[in-house]
Each structure stands twice: as structure tokens, then as C-alpha cells.
């Protein structure tokens, strides 16, 4: 059975794993991500691969990286949370690892993993939305990963939702991720608690003060019925539902898959996302409703997807 290694590179950690043809992770490892140094990053990735390859017979490596990857799947053009600028990542790692390497956007890798082995099984047209600090995306159309002409497609979080709205790290304003991400959820919860502390009894008990509120506090408080936390999730769900309806008008997928850290609280807000989507969908009542599903592979999705893309290179 052909084995490949998948590497999921983020701003704080590098997760790696040996993956078989069925998407099973046979062994995995985690290392600290030296986000400020491209040279140390390439070395750390190579060390992780070398360690795993020393115990398994592997044929290729797939690297899922948080950034804009060029059309050759080798150069990281830009990574907002890492020190990569026109970084020849495939070449640098390839100098240290003697096997074929594919570099892919991390959200694309996650989407491919879910399409092949997770919540997207059986669908030919899938849109994956990762809801975390920001919003990432991956698109599979007709069973093929959509990357765009220059390899930089599916940056869904940077659709403009509010003209002239909140400033975004990408340089524009009003991007979808400024209203429908984990960061937006946290901002909304803090504002609600500051504006009306009486509406946030559980939130303030957990965090101490509004300024100290963290994401896990918002989720826990919402499950306890905290009005401020529930209102924050209500806002998040509204923006997500609207964005998915807009995407359905363009891409017409069979299903959407919601992943990322905020998907762990799906029980709190997913029904609202589905109802908002159905209410805002263009042509509603005269077209099928795409399923909105929660990702199944969890944190391993990017690793599994990257490994499979390396196998299919």
C-alpha cells in the first residue's frame, strides 16, 4: 500500500503524519513552528519528514501551507501569518528531503481531505469553509480541486461583505472574515459584555472581565444560555449563512463543509446558519438546498489532504 507524508504548517505548530491510501494516519508528529524564519521553517519541515520516513516506506510528501501558493505548487507567494514572501518552499525542502514534494494551500488541502475521506464523501461539488481566526476556503468542482489560474483561488474570507467596513489584514476593508470568523465572534462577545454586563453573567464569571474573554469562554457561556454569548453566535451564524448563499449563487455546490476551530461549537450555531442560508439563497423554493455539514476529520484534515494530493501529483 502506497504511503505518503502530509505536513500541515501553521503559525504556531507543524503537524506531520504518514497517511495510507484510505486516508488513515499511521503515525503523526508535532513540532513548534519557527514562523519568523523561512530557513528554520524549511529545516523543521524536513526534519519532521525525515524522522517519519525513517520508520515508513513513503513515496512523496505533501505540504499544506497557510498562504498563497503559486500555480506550480512550489512557491509561497505570500503568507499573512508567516515570514514567507516569494518563498521557494518546495525547492528548499527538496534540498533536504530526497523525494517528490507538492506544496498546497492549507485550506485547499483540508477541503481535499474532507472531499476524499470525510464529510464530502460521495459529492462531486464541494465548498469547504474553514472558520478560525480568519476564514479559509477550498473548492472541489467535478471531482477536481479548483485552484484558479495563478493557484490562488478560493480565498473566500476576502470577499467583501461590507463596503468600507472593518479593516482586514489583507489590506482591504469589510472582508467576510471580519464578520464571520472566530475573531469576529470574540469581538462581538466582548462588545456585548462591555455594553451590557447584565447580559453576560456566565461569560464574565468564566473570564473575569470583558477584556479577558477568550473563544472557549464564549462557547462555554453560550451552552449555558448566556445572552451575550448567544447573541455573538447569532451574529456569526447570520454572516455565515449570507456568505454561503452568495457562494451558492456562484458555484452551486452539492454541499458546504464547515471546518476550523469554530466548527467545534457547531451545536450552538449551525441550525441558525442553515436557516439563514435557506432564507437568503437566490431562487429559494425553486432549487435544491445544498447540505451544510460539519467537517469530520478534525485537525488531521489538512495533513490527510496534503498527503493524498502528493500521492495524486
Please state which of the ranges 167-171, 182-186, 228-232, 296-300 shows the lowest mean pLDDT. 167-171
Q: Is the pLDDT of residue 234 over 70?
A: yes
In the chain, the domains with their CATH numbers are: 3-113+300-311 (3.30.420.40), 121-295 (3.30.420.40)
CA distances from 226 to 31, 60, 176, 179, 190 (A): 37, 49, 26, 20, 13
Spatial distance between the Cα atoms of 258 and 291, rounded to a whole number of angstroms: 11
pLDDT at 170: 84
Three-class DSSP category at 302: helix
Listed in sequence order, the residues at least 6 apart from 33 whose beta carbon sits closer than 8 Å to its beta carbon are 9, 10, 11, 12, 13, 14, 41, 44, 82
Nine-digit cell at 253?
A: 455546490
- Residues 242-264 have a mean pLDDT of 96
The pLDDT-based confidence of 66 (bands split at 50, 70, 90) is confident
Q: What is the pLDDT of residues 153-194, one digit of tens each?
A: 999 999 999 999 999 988 899 999 999 999 999 999 999 999
| DSSP labels, 117-176 | HSTTTT-SSEEEEEESSSEEEEEEETTEEE--TTS----GGGSBSSTT-SB-TTS-BSBT
Say what the alpha-carbon torsion angle 31, 35, 38, 43 is, to the nearest 10 degrees: -10
What are the helix and strand counts (H, E) for the chain?
10, 13
The pLDDT-based confidence of 67 (bands split at 50, 70, 90) is confident
Q: Is the pLDDT of residue 1 over 80?
A: no
% residues pLDDT > 90 (the chain):
91
Spatial distance between the Cα atoms of 88 and 76, rounded to a whole number of angstroms: 6
- Residues 293-300 have a mean pLDDT of 94
pTM: 0.92
**78 exposure class (CB count in 10 Å sphere: 0-12, 13-18, 19+):** middle
Spatial distance between the Cα atoms of 12 and 117, rounded to a whole number of angstroms: 26
Nine-digit cell at 158?
A: 476576502
Amino acid at each position: 500500500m502506497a504511503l505518503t507524508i502530509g505536513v500541515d504548517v501553521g503559525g504556531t505548530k507543524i503537524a506531520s503524519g504518514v497517511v495510507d491510501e484510505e486516508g488513515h494516519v499511521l503515525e503523526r508528529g508535532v513540532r513548534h513552528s519557527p514562523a519568523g524564519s523561512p530557513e528554520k521553517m524549511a529545516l523543521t519541515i524536513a526534519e519532521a519528514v525525515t524522522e517519519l520516513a525513517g520508520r515508513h516506506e513513503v513515496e512523496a510528501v505533501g505540504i499544506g501551507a497557510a498562504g498563497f501558493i503559486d500555480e506550480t505548487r512550489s512557491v509561497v507567494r505570500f503568507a499573512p501569518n508567516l515570514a514567507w514572501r516569494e518563498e521557494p518552499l518546495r525547492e528548499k525542502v527538496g534540498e533536504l528531503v530526497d523525494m517528490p514534494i507538492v506544496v498546497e494551500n492549507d485550506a485547499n488541502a483540508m477541503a481535499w481531505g474532507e472531499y476524499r475521506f470525510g464529510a464530502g464523501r460521495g459529492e462531486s461539488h464541494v465548498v469547504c469553509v474553514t472558520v478560525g481566526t480568519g476564514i479559509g476556503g477550498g473548492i472541489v468542482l467535478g471531482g477536481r480541486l479548483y485552484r484558479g489560474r495563478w493557484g490562488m483561488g478560493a480565498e473566500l474570507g476576502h470577499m467583501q461583505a461590507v463596503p468600507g467596513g472593518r479593516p482586514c489584514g489583507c489590506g482591504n476593508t469589510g472582508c467576510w472574515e471580519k464578520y464571520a470568523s472566530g475573531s469576529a465572534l470574540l469581538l462581538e462577545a466582548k462588545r456585548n459584555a462591555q455594553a451590557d454586563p447584565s447580559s453576560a453573567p456566565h461569560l464574565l464569571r468564566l473570564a473575569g472581565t470583558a477584556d479577558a474573554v477568550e473563544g472557549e469562554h464564549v462557547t462555554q457561556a453560550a451552552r449555558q444560555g448566556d445572552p451575550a454569548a448567544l447573541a455573538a453566535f447569532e451574529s456569526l451564524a447570520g454572516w455565515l449563512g449570507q456568505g454561503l448563499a452568495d457562494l451558492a449563487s456562484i458555484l452551486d455546490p452539492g454541499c458546504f463543509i464547515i471546518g476550523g476551530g469554530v466548527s467545534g461549537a457547531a451545536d450552538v450555531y449551525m441550525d441558525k446558519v442553515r436557516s439563514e442560508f435557506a432564507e437568503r439563497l437566490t431562487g429559494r423554493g425553486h432549487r435544491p438546498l445544498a447540505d451544510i455539514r460539519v467537517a469530520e476529520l478534525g485537525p488531521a484534515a489538512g495533513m490527510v489532504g496534503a498527503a493524498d494530493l502528493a500521492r495524486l501529483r
